């Protein structure tokens, strides 16, 4: 497997287990599965993870930070979503999505968005469904057990591990900032990969 074109060295992907899926596999995620391990866990195609992270960063870069919302219901992703939000200026919601936040202008919490980024479309399904109703595109990190009928662009990866999420969000942050012209090279990132991958 050639490493040219990888957003980070292949070892970084493997070290955090971004490619290790679950034992449960949906039909939608089947094309992204490279093989099944003897213990039953799915192994995702690392080249496809890398390719789709790059495409997602490009899609995100078409939008100003204030037009994007990143949501994460699961606690394992809260810290990394907050850090991603600080670095990029993209609004992050860690925790429970307030019903009606996108759909009810009478609420104090009402907010508008042009793009939703979900860390896991299953626990974050309420905001995904609201986005669908409003015609807002949805990008999501999808593990092998995710369904994606409501997802416009899926990034296959381990969306449950803290270090896996840290690497995915560090890549997205640096690529987003580069494509928006905020930084010129990786070394200008305000937070290190280690900061994103802390336990």
Domain CATH code at residue 126 = 3.40.50.10490
Taking alpha carbons only, the member of 98, 116, 115 closest to residue 107 is 98
- Please give the Cα distance from 127 to 109 (Å, whole number): 13
Cβ neighbours, 10 Å, residue 192: 10
**Is there a domain that residue 14 lies in?**
no
Burial category of 60 from C-beta neighbours within 10 Å (exposed 0-12, middle 13-18, buried 19 and up):
buried
- Please give the Cα distance from 104 to 134 (Å, whole number): 11
Q: What is the dihedral of CA 75, 39, 194, 84, to 10 degrees?
A: -40
Cα-to-chain-centroid distance, residue 155: 7
**Is there a domain that residue 9 lies in?**
no
1 band by pLDDT with thresholds 50, 70 and 90: very low
pLDDT in tens, 92-110: 999 988 888 999 999 998 9
**Is there a domain that residue 13 lies in?**
no
Between the alpha carbon of residue 89 and those of residues 52, 60, 61, 64, 125, the distances in Å are 22, 12, 12, 9, 24
pLDDT in tens, 140-185: 999 999 987 889 999 999 999 999 999 999 999 999 999 999 999 9
**Is there a domain that residue 47 lies in?**
yes
DSSP characters over 82-137: HHHHHHH--EEEESPPPTTTTT-TTSTT----SEEEES-TTTTHHHHHHHHHHT--
Range of the domain at 191: 20-196
pLDDT in tens, 49-90: 999 999 999 999 999 999 999 999 999 999 999 999 999 999
Q: Based on the structure, what is the number of domains in the chain?
A: 1
Cβ neighbours, 10 Å, residue 104: 12
**Is there a domain that residue 1 lies in?**
no
**Is there a domain that residue 2 lies in?**
no
User: Strand 33-36 vs strand 68-72: parallel, antiparallel, or unpaired?
Assistant: unpaired
pLDDT in tens, 121-139: 999 999 999 999 999 999 9
**Is there a domain that residue 12 lies in?**
no
pLDDT in tens, 16-60: 999 999 999 999 999 999 999 999 999 999 999 999 999 999 999
The per-residue pLDDT for 116 is: 98
User: What percent of the chain stands above pLDDT 90?
Assistant: 90
**Is there a domain that residue 175 lies in?**
yes
């Amino acid at each position: 497997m050639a490493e040219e074109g990888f957003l980070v060295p292949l070892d970084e992907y493997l070290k955090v287990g971004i490619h290790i899926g679950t034992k449960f596999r949906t039909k939608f995620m089947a094309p992204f599965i490279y093989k099944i391990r003897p213990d039953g866990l799915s192994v995702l195609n690392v080249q496809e993870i890398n390719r789709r992270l790059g495409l997602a960063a490009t899609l995100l870069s078409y939008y100003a930070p204030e037009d994007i919302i990143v949501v994460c219901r699961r606690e394992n992703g809260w810290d990394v979503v907050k850090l991603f939000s600080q670095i990029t200026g993209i609004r992050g919601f860690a925790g429970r999505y307030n019903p009606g936040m996108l759909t009810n202008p009478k609420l104090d919490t009402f907010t508008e968005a042009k793009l939703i980024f979900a860390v896991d479309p299953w626990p974050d399904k309420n905001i995904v469904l609201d986005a669908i109703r409003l015609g807002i595109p949805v990008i999501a990190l999808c593990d092998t057990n995710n369904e994606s009928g409501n997802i416009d662009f899926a990034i296959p990866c381990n969306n449950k591990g803290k270090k896996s999420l840290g690497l995915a969000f560090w890549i997205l942050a640096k690529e987003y900032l580069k494509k928006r012209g905020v930084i010129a090279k990786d070394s200008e990132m305000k937070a290190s990969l280690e900061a994103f991958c802390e336990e």
